Amino acid sequence: MNETVRPSIQAGDRIHGYVVQRIEFVELLQAFFIELEHERTGARHVHIACGDTENVFGVVFRTVPKDSTGVAHILEHTVLCGSKRYPVRDPFFSMLKRSLSTFMNAFTASDWTMYPFATQNPTDYYNLMGVYLDAVFHPLLDPLSFRQEGHRLGFGEDGRLTYKGVVYNEMKGAMSSAPQIMARSLLKELYPDTTYRFNSGGDPQEIPRLTYEGLKEFHRVHYHPSNAWF
């Protein structure tokens, strides 16, 4: 690990369209916490300046669900199925094979969605950043990808029509777990008037209610710099 260098900027400074909000030294991490706000969009940028050799990046959106269709979770999968600059079928997994990354993933939580990665190679860092940012801000959102990642009707092994889909199957497995069922029931009872009563990952009984238009609208409303932390 290299020595942490004190930033040359201070609160109130303007840099590349951002205003520095605060700078604090985090003793535990031996790092400087720098928070900035973009003047035009209101986007927040948090920079951790330290001597660690890992180069880490993440973009986080507030994605507060209004139902249990799993729209945030399905969108997380679908934006990684090709974008304007990278119109390949699956750029995320293509980069897993080609990148020098030490970590790549995406998460959907109860009220936010995050796309993080890490690498020790500076060139790889900017390559991955380009792929990630184009994916979240300019995804293709192809209807076929929605049906593959979200839900569709297909024939089961018994020859009967049944619901399928990556997220649908994932959540069907998750919701067959007794601890998951208990946790979801507990949240509904504890927070009946909040977003936490909904299953952000998607309830298999509710997922088929999500439409392709609903997915696109959720992206339009939530995936914007004004609703993002970098």
149 is catalytic: yes
The number of CA neighbours under 13 Å toward the Cβ of 199 is 24
Residue type, 157: E
Range of the domain at 42: 1-52
Distance CA 24, CA 94 (A): 38
Residues 5 and 62 in one domain: no
Q: Name the domain count of the chain.
A: 2
Write the pLDDT tens digit of every residue in 134-158. 999 999 999 999 999 999 999 888 8
Provide the whole-model pTM: 0.93
Residues 10 and 109 in one domain: no
The closest of 144, 41, 135, 51 to 87, measured between CA atoms, is 135
Residues 29 and 110 in one domain: no
Residues 126 and 174 in one domain: yes
Q: In the beta sheet, which residues pair with residue 139? A: 83
Distance CA 37, CA 151 (A): 38
149, 170, 206, 213: which is the annotated catalytic residue? 149
Q: What are phi and psi of 67, to 5 degrees?
A: -160, -175
Residues 77 and 46 in one domain: no
Residues 101 and 29 in one domain: no
Residues 152 and 86 in one domain: yes
Residues 58 and 168 in one domain: yes
3, 24, 54, 76: which is the annotated catalytic residue? 76
Residues 29 and 65 in one domain: no
Residues in contact with 105: Cβ distance below 8 Å, sequence separation at least 6, in sequence order: 115, 116, 117
E runs forming strands in the chain: 14-15, 18-26, 31-38, 44-49, 55-62, 101-104, 107-108, 112-119, 152-155, 161-164, 228-229
Where residue 27 sits, what CATH number does that domain have? 2.30.30
Write the pLDDT tens digit of every residue in 155-176. 888 889 999 999 999 999 998 8
DSSP string, 194-214: SGGGS-TT--TTTGGG--HHH
Write the pLDDT tens digit of every residue in 64-103. 999 999 999 999 999 999 999 999 888 878 888 889 999 9
Residues 46 and 88 in one domain: no
**Average pLDDT score over the chain:** 94
